Structure 1
Amino acid sequence: MSDLPPYVTRDLVAERLPLIFPEGTPNRTYCVRELAASTVFAMLYIGAVEGQGRYLGPVHVYRMTEEQAAEGDTAARLDYASAVFKKKYVPTGSRWYADNTREPIRDETLREGLVAIGAVFARTDLPTTSGLPRYALKPDFAALFDPAHDGEALEAAIGAFQQKHLSKSALARVSIVRAGAAAGASGVLVTFPNGETRQLAPGPSSIITQAVIEVFAREFLQDSAVLWLSESGNKVVARDDKLAAAIGLKIEADKNLPDIILADLGPDEPLIVFVEVVATDGAVTARRQKALFALTDEAGFARGQIAFLTAYQDRESAGFRKTVSGLAWGSFAWFVSEPDKIVILRDGAASPARLADLLHAGADDGL
């Protein structure tokens, strides 16, 4: 079996991976980073494609060198496929990675990334402790790196792959993220619950802000109102002092207020929701939560009437990965790309519960 996929460079693989796995794809980082490009390149290089009888092990990736990768003839590629397993094999040139890269290649790039998403096949006839190679590209995924495919033909092939291998929820996330990016190119028009509109500056923060007001408020609040809205470069876009005063909240711009303040007027006691919008930074941290509680304590609100929300574009976004470790307990996180779901950072200090209780509570609430 000497048939090999057409030779391609790692640069071409790196260029196409983000097109195949767009923003919103689950575990996207594992599928598009340099290590993923190196892994896919190595599989193409040795011909590890399902049905061909050749498989990749992490060793094929971390023993690859610049010099070896440049040798594109069939003999060199097949020789490398088998030679890397020999104990005395010494690769020529500068290796891409050290031996300790084995785990992230196997666990992140392959198992949690490309295998989980349906781009790579993993043999199931080998014991988990076996050192034999077990991974191969799915044929339709391998075909996306054929250098002869370009332009509309490549786009069509990528679209067909996504429809086949990405789940419905993943495709929905991708569509929402794409739509948001397009909508934010020339400014964002936000429609408030009372029908008023405001034009926000272009940018990812405005896209998230729009979704919080138009989608989150409708999904999670009973009778919503916007008390405060600010954006970068314009501290106050909108404020409703009359409504705020009616429920006992005094809004002062110099108090370093959050990006959005929502009110839910449906409950007997109004609920005040402080929202931080995160494109890159600025989540509801414990310090931020404490400062905002000081404002509402002074205004006479019970803490049970106050909620804190950090809003992101997607769980794969850089802003979420950067700030998730600092999110305050007792707050919520919400994602534009998954609008009907919410993350609860439950603070169990006052009322601890067993996991079974939390699970049953979530089931009762339809979570």
Structure 2
Amino acid sequence: MLPPFVPRDLVAERLPVIFPEGTPNRTYCTRELAASTVFTMLYIGAVEHTNVRLGPVHVYRMTDLQATSSTDEERLSYRSNLRKKSFEVPGKRWYADNTREPIRDETLREGLVAIGAVMEDKDIPTTSGKPRYALKSDLAALFDPALQGSTLQAAIFKWQEEHLNKGALARVSLMRLGAVDKDGVMIHFPNGETRILAYGPSSLISRAVVEVFAQQFLEKPGVLWLSESSNKVAMQDLRMASTIGLDIEAHKNLPDLILVDLGPAQPLIVFVEVVATDGAITARRKDALFELTDKGGFKRSQVAFVTAYADRESPGFKKTVTGLAWGSFAWFMSEPDKIFMLRGETSQLSDLNRLLADLES
């Protein structure tokens, strides 16, 4: 039996709810091409526990006219006859033949298969052109048009809890932090003090840097400086920074955060830029901040630079990643126990052995 007929618009509407912000490779799972692919799987009945499988050809040869042909007879005809050269699909095709690769490599393999939403039939040889993909049955059930309102939402939450891995669930939970506390973002400092920042994406990332990053990566963390777009200078921070020799000018080269690690014998100064849309640690920015620490008498080995983002798939990261300074770090709120290092100079290619050893340690 075929699944209930579902229009592509309904699939497109539900995919971003099923795969919320923080889902790995979310774009591949929620864009129009993903909606077209999931719709076509449901249309031809390519669902787990059946012998029906989908290939990219089923998606790129679909048309608006065919997609509205909703009877079982019309759907089965499309499924059975599509690969015959003599079969004419009525209407204008959705995609050209060269869309085969994005459907197969991005939407399916890197998106829906990787996240556990689609199964790939491993009994079919990799060199075969036979269709090999099917929608997982419990996910297919979420597109039943009869599911609506709170019942649908409960079913989606249940699917997420059972099928997204722990890392993905953690990312989703962190990305949902912005759904609460609209009046302000309260940050708890390591010394027990608190400060409320104006609500916004930058403030949420700043809170994660202070409450999560600092605890994860610094031995004995402290906050020397915290600014925000609506209040660039907090005088208590300015005085604290000045007492250790950092002469910070509010109108010039102002960092979003300055952390200090008092655990090592030589304190570590950590400059952090928070990026919701722009403003990463670039080479120019790094040099300007080094001027501050040089003037304060700090060795450059006592200084670190971090750019903090919400997620690797955030627009801010995609916009600024090519400008990140060598010798700096990137940290993502959605993956709090990991850090991205832009390693500087290495003397020779054989240093890869040493770098691999560092990764394992």
Single out whichever of 283-292 and 271-280 deviates more from structure 2. Answer: 283-292
Q: Following superposition of structure 1 onto structure 2, how do residues 283-298 of structure 1 map, counting pairs within 5 Å?
A: 283-298=280-295
Identify which of 3, 6, 12 aligns with 2:4. Answer: 6
SS in 2 for 1:159: helix
1:236 to 226, 230, 233: 233
> Which deviates more, 253-262 or 284-293?
284-293
Which residue of structure 2 aligns with residue 301 of structure 1? 298
Counterpart selection for 1:267 from 264, 267, 270: 264
What does 1:66-215 correspond to in 2, within 5 Å? 66-178=64-176, 180-215=177-212
**Cα distance, 1:336 vs. partner?**
1.5
1:49 correspondence with 2:44 = no
Tell me, in whole angstroms, the C-alpha distance in 1 between the residues paired with 2:348 and 2:310. 31
**Paired residue for 2:333?**
336
Structure 1 residue ranges without an equivalent (≥5):
none
Deviation sequence 1:145-204 (CA, Å, 0-9, x none): 0000112221222122212211112112212221x1123522101122222221111111
Structure 2 unaligned residues grouped into runs of 5+:
none
1:319-358 correspondence to structure 2 within 5 Å = 319-349=316-346, 354-358=351-355
SS of equivalent to 1:240: helix
Deviation per CA, 1:212-267, whole angstroms, max 9, x where unpaired? 11221122122222222111232124543443233221111121312111122222
Matched-pair contact (CA < 8 Å) for 1:229–1:239: no
User: Shift of the alpha carbon at 1:13?
Assistant: 0.4
What TM-score do you get using the length of structure 1 for normalisation? Answer: 0.93
Identity, % of aligned positions? 66
> How far does residue 66 in structure 1 lie from its aligned partner after superposition?
1.1
Conserved? CA contact 2:171–2:335, under 8 Å = yes
Partner secondary structure for residue 311 of structure 2 = coil
Alpha-carbon separation, structure 2, partners of 1:328 and 1:77: 54
1:208 is displaced (CA, Å) by 0.5
Q: Find the partner of 1:224 among 211, 221, 226.
A: 221
Number of residue pairs matched by the alignment: 361
Task: Please list, as runs of the form range in 1=range in 2, the aligned pairs for 1:25-36 lying within 5 A after superposition.
Answer: 25-36=23-34
Counterparts of 2:244 and 2:219, CA distance in 1: 16
Cα displacement string for residues 8-65 of structure 1 (whole angstroms, at most 9, x for unaligned residues) = 1111001111111111111111111111101000101111112222111001111111
Counterpart residue type for residue 244 of structure 1 = A
Change (3 A) 1:102 1:95: same
Letter matched to residue 117 of structure 2? A
Q: 1:19 to 1:223 in 2, by over 3 A?
A: same
CA distance in 1, matches of 2:308, 2:324: 11
Q: Distance in 2 between matches of 1:184 and 1:290?
A: 37
Shift of the 332–353 alpha-carbon distance from structure 1 to 2, 3 Å rule, reads: farther
Moved more, 292-301 or 137-146: 292-301
Write the letter of the residue equivalent to 1:51: H
Residue 60 of structure 2 corresponds to 62
Q: Quick one: distance in 1 between partners of 2:51 and 2:346?
A: 56
Deviating above 4 A after TM superposition, structure 1's stretches of 4 or more consecutive aligned residues are 350-353
Output the CA distance in 2 between the equivalents of 1:203 and 1:170.
23
CA contact (8 A) 1:184 1:206 kept: no
| Between 309-318 and 88-97, the greater mean CA deviation after superposition | 88-97
Corresponding residue SS for 1:127 = coil
Q: Would you say the 8 A contact 1:55–1:136 is kept in 2? A: yes
- Tell me by how many angstroms 1:87 deviates: 2.6
CA distance in 1, matches of 2:64, 2:284: 48
* C-alpha distance in 1 between matches for 2:210 and 2:103: 41
Report the Cα distance in structure 1 between the residues aligned to 2:92 and 2:227, rounded to whole angstroms.
52
Which amino acid in 2 is paired with 1:319? G
8 Å CA contact retained: 1:259, 1:276: yes
SS state at 1:235 partner: coil
CA distance 1:264–1:316, shift in 2 (3 Å) = same
DSSP 3-state at the match of 1:136:
strand
Seen in structure 2, the aligned counterparts of structure 1 residues 184 and 333 have a Cα distance that, compared at 3 Å, is farther
Q: Do the aligned residues in 2 keep the contact of 1:184 with 1:203 (CA within 8 Å)?
A: no
Distance in 1 of aligned mates of 2:86 and 2:4: 29
Moved more, 319-328 or 234-243: 234-243
Q: What SS class does the counterpart of residue 228 from structure 1 fall into? A: strand
Contact 1:184–1:204 (8 Å) recurs in 2? no
* CA distance, structure 2, for counterparts of residue 222 and residue 138 of structure 1: 45
TM-score normalised by structure 2 residue count: 0.94
